[in-house]
Amino acid sequence: MGLDVGEKRVGIAVSDPMGWTAQGVEVIRRDRSDWLDRLGELIDQYEVGSLVVGLPRNMDGSIGKKGETCKELSRELENRFQLPVELWDERLSTVAVERTLIDADMSRRKRKKVVDQMAASWILQGYLDARGRNRNA
């Protein structure tokens, strides 16, 4: 399962059983007190074996405040769900998704509803692709 963690929302994506493709499934609002419960329901529903959390880095590769927050959340997720959690560089994922949606002529209101979910897919797909390359090397 891939997570695009924002201040207000978390985009969720899952892979197919073979681990080849990522699909967005939902956006959870982080301002809800039960957002981790909902994440747990999705983990159970999709029989998730590990989590991939997008790690926002600065363009020079350093990790800023948002990145440190994601690292902290990753440790919390690992403890709560007893699953391995990997951090994955998400630089420009939201920008790339926004550009794709704009090119598809999607309205700003519709983009806002799907951008986090698609960014989670982008993050998870990058992870799956890299893992597949390493397996075949």
Q: What is the pLDDT of residues 59-76, one digit of tens each?
A: 788 888 989 999 999 999
100 pLDDT more than 80: no
Model's pTM, two decimal places?
A: 0.84
What is the spatial distance between Cα 130 and Cα 132, in angstroms, rounded to a whole number? 5
Rg (CA), the chain: 14
pLDDT of residue 111: 63
What would the mean pLDDT of 102-106 be, rounded to a whole number? 73
How many CB atoms are closer than 10 A to CB 121?
Answer: 25
**Hey, CA dihedral for 104, 96, 6, 27, is it positive or negative?**
positive
Please tell me which residue, 95 or 50, carries the higher pLDDT value: 50
By the 8 A CB rule, do 71 and 88 touch?
A: no
Tens of pLDDT along 122-134? 899 989 988 876 6
Domains, the chain, with CATH or none: 2-136 (3.30.420.140)
Per-residue pLDDT band at 57 (split at 50, 70, 90): confident
Left, alpha or beta for 55 (phi > 0: left; psi -120 to 50: alpha)? beta
49 pLDDT more than 60: yes
Residue type, 88: W
18 pLDDT more than 80: yes
Question: Which residues are within 8 A (CB) of 127 and not within 5 positions of it... i.e. 6 or more apart?
Answer: 2, 52, 86, 88
pLDDT of residue 117: 83
DSSP class of residue 137 equals -
79 pLDDT more than 70: yes
By the 8 A CB rule, do 53 and 84 touch?
A: no
pLDDT of residue 95: 66
Q: Which ranges of the chain would DSSP assign to H, the alpha helix?
A: 35-45, 65-81, 93-103, 108-136
